[in-house]
Amino acid sequence: MTNNEIIVEVQGLGKKFGSTEVLKGIDFSIPSGRIYGLIGHNGAGKTTAINALLGLTAYDGEVKVLGKEPFANRADLMADIAFISDVASLPRFLKVLELLQLMDDIHPNFNREKAEQFLSDTDIRLSSKIKSLSKGMLAQLHLSIVMAIDAKLLVLDEPTLGLDITFRKKFYRRLVEDYMSENRSILITTHQVDEIEFLLTDLIFLKGGEIVLDAGMDEISQRFCQIIVSADMVEQAKAQKPIFSTVQLGQSIMIFDGLEKSKAENFGPKTTPSVSDLFVALMEGNNSNKKNAQGEMQ
């Protein structure tokens, strides 16, 4: 935690749909100048939590965004919050140029010049009708519009879903280089966790409506370790109760939480687990799970 302004403060956030408890009284806070990854399986409660922050759903508990309760103050907050979902909702009957003009007229914190700069890296023409754009182009247009809004909180829910890897890398690079500042915070949900690991400052893992991890990346690198255990040390390593273990290509690989450095060095080569490997460890324990080459959780 830093001394920066608290952008989001959540205490006892709960939500039920009928008899199903989607969020079970979770607590977390997001200071300014941080980039949080909100990670969880489908149904873990990520979208519901985001909807609560955006004032799109009622809930139990207390939520403050920029010091305001979002459900009661949504109109005021929208000047300082930007949101990108995996489904771009844009007025298809307009031309791109007309959309930029509309945003310039209605949003106090929209920078048209920045939007045009972002679009210059795409194949989208300002004269194009939005309804003629491909799915990928629609997503690029949506990203360009939102990235041009001077918001204090940017919420990204699967922001690059369906886009090719070249654009995804450009987008995340620009997010860090051109958008992020000490006065802003970003909250990202995605299944392509390995692609965003380099830019995250903090992680929140949700499982079944509860938080199983809320920690900064520095803390994670100190707290968790992944070891390729020497064949003659497997039993000794198991005695230290790893949170996850597997065998790959004949090698025993274990992840530990809080293992003393002196013990870890005896067992074999040690690294910090990737975000996706840590996710599997904390979500699945010693149950089998698979991860594909792009780091997408299955």
Per-residue pLDDT 10s for the chain (298 aa) are 345 789 999 999 999 999 999 999 999 999 999 999 999 998 899 999 999 999 999 999 999 999 999 999 998 898 899 988 765 578 889 999 999 999 999 999 999 999 999 899 889 999 999 999 988 888 889 888 988 999 999 999 888 877 788 878 888 888 888 788 888 999 999 888 888 899 999 999 999 999 999 999 999 999 999 999 999 999 999 999 999 999 999 999 999 999 999 899 999 999 999 999 999 999 986 444 333 333 333 3
Any bridge partners for residue 256, and if so which? Answer: 225
How far, in whole angstroms, is CA 119 from its chain's centroid? 24
The reported pLDDT for the residue numbered 293 is 31
pLDDT at 122: 87
Residue 191: the pLDDT is 81
* Predicted structure pTM score: 0.86
Per DSSP bridges, beta strands 153-157 and 270-271 are: unpaired
As a whole number of angstroms, the distance between CA 241 and CA 118 comes to 49
Two tokens, residue 202: 């903090």
Sheet holding 224-229, edge to edge: 244-248, 251-257, 224-229, 270-271
Spatial distance between the Cα atoms of 28 and 36, rounded to a whole number of angstroms: 11
Compute the distance between CA of residue 221 and CA of residue 274 in angstroms, rounded to an integer: 10
Residue 68 is predicted with a pLDDT of: 96
Express each pLDDT in 193-212 by its tens digit: 888 899 999 999 999 999 99
H-only helix segments in the chain: 46-53, 74-77, 96-106, 112-119, 135-147, 165-174, 193-196, 217-223, 234-238, 261-267, 275-284
Q: What is the bridge-based pairing of β-strands 185-189 and 224-229? A: unpaired
Q: What is the pLDDT of residue 298?
A: 34
Cα dist. 247→46, 53, 273 in Å?
Answer: 31, 41, 15
Output the pLDDT for position 3.
56
